Structure 1
Amino acid sequence: MKKTIKDPWIKIGYDLFAHEGPNGLKIELLARKVAKNKSSFYHHFADVTIFTEELLQYHLVQSKIIAQKIAQCKSINPDLIAVLLEVKTDILFNRQLRIHRDVPSFQNCFIEANRPVEAAFLDIWAEALGLKTNPALAKMILNLTIENFYLQITEKNLNATWLINYLNEIRAMVLALDPKS
């Protein structure tokens, strides 16, 4: 991706949104963190709405990069776990989109960002759950797991131990429902 003069604003704003949601996007705070004046923000983005749209576009690009990384994983542990930890901010950003899905642009971005990631994730997921021969069930469980995942994660618990335990719980649930898995 080509670097632009807007990049520091986008990176800081992306991080703020990931951790605090849309209410964290205060121009004065952004300017302080970027070490620029507020007029520089207005020069590049005009207002917070336009800035937020650029953050959403950035997130969509990030989701495609994440999908490529996931597609290269050979196993959930340690490969996928390592990718998920590497993209922690992106996951937290996506969580904020889900929390604030009453905003149509956030809902649309959440859906669009999940498409490539889900597609990349599905094979390794089905394999890990023993559902390679039942991809429809694997996809259904993945969708339920994603909803539950975003309800449970926080900045604090999004770590290797929690992820491994969470995925083990899902696997145990599937085994309890279908011992052939």
Structure 2
Amino acid sequence: MKFAKIAASTFAVAAVVFSAGVASAQTTENIQTNGLTGSYVGAGISAGVTNGGRQNDAATFGGNVQGRYAITNTPVSIRGAALFGGDSTAIMPILTYDAPIAKNTNLYLGGGYSFQTDEGKASQLGNQNAPVVTLGAESEVAKNIVIYGDAKWGIDAYRNSNADAVSLQTGVGYRF
């Protein structure tokens, strides 16, 4: 039942993001020049904002390393993230849909999986391996300098608990 609610929520958000792009009167050429293109790698801060309610479930603060590999001629990117600074590091491969919203700026929505380096120990995104959904924004603010921020939702991300985990990230990257 919980999975059905999560899936329905994810599809609802995706429908809004996708329909915004379809409803736009911009041409494909104009969209491509408006959104952020290219790939980048960056680093910043990360904060877990939830607690699983048991020992080794505490919300933690630390850092993140994130990257985006843009798939040419598609609105899809492959992303990677590592959230560190707790007792465990959460490592995530993620696939996203990137929606251009302004010049050199995208919103992105996607999903993947969070692998904990030490299950049972606290990280910013829970304490066990779990599916993850992400929603974020990225923008080039100077030549090849990108800022990004996102929220990651780990589904059933705490051992011996049915609690979900949420973490917030922000950082600066270098576009190549």
Larger Rg: 1
Structure with the higher strand share, 1 or 2:
2
Normalised by the shorter chain, which TM-score bucket? under 0.3
| TM-score normalized by the length of structure 1 | 0.23
Structure with the higher helix share, 1 or 2:
1
| TM-score normalized by the length of structure 2 | 0.24
